[in-house]
Structure 1
Amino acid sequence: MAEVEWVQDIPPRDATDREDLQELTNNAAAHARSWLSTVKASTRDRRKLEAIYNVEAMMPNPEDPERFSFWLATLSNRRPSERLELLRIRDTAERIRRGLIYLGAESPGCRVQ
């Protein structure tokens, strides 16, 4: 039997950090919506399109940056080890920044060599 430990992100230090985090989250949400629209427009497979719509429907409100950051972390198609590394980060802003980097690497028409 395993013991579960509930771990939360490290909270922002002050009002300025909270405002910066909220701005980052709002910008990331806009980028994620744009990315999803581009992916939907370029997808011809019905099953993949349905999966994209399901992911989009699960997008949390950006007013909860921590929750949004976990959703963003699962959006990219990463290997399990990379995804786990991203999910282990306890800094919400860092998780969002890395999630955006991963999305950028997976943009339609973008090839990583």
Structure 2
Amino acid sequence: MKKKATIAYTDFEKIDLRAGTIIQVNDFPEAKNPAYQLHIDFGAEIGILKSSAQITKRYSKEYLLNRQIVAVVNFPKKQIGKFMSECLLLGSTGENNDVVLLSLEQEVSNGLRIS
């Protein structure tokens, strides 16, 4: 894979990365590709945001519930069918196009900024 262009640190600072806890997981049968609808608690400052995530190959709904994840919370909202996605979970795409979520080594407060 070709290395991407270098960015300034000020560009990185524009991305609002936060820790959040998945508090609700629903099937998303209307999605073009298998996905879940997630509700994620980012604490009092940000609140609960929704996200659609194509992570059904690796994760069950039961496994995801109450898991802490890392997400971008300042991208524009994205309409996916009748669902409005408000944040983007971070992960790495494996060889079989299955996503491995970025997680935290220890539990932290919801909404904690990742830097």
Is the structural similarity TM-score above 0.5? no
Structure showing greater Rg: 1
TM-score (norm 1): 0.27
Structure number with higher helix proportion = 1
Structure number with higher strand proportion = 2
TM-score (norm 2): 0.27
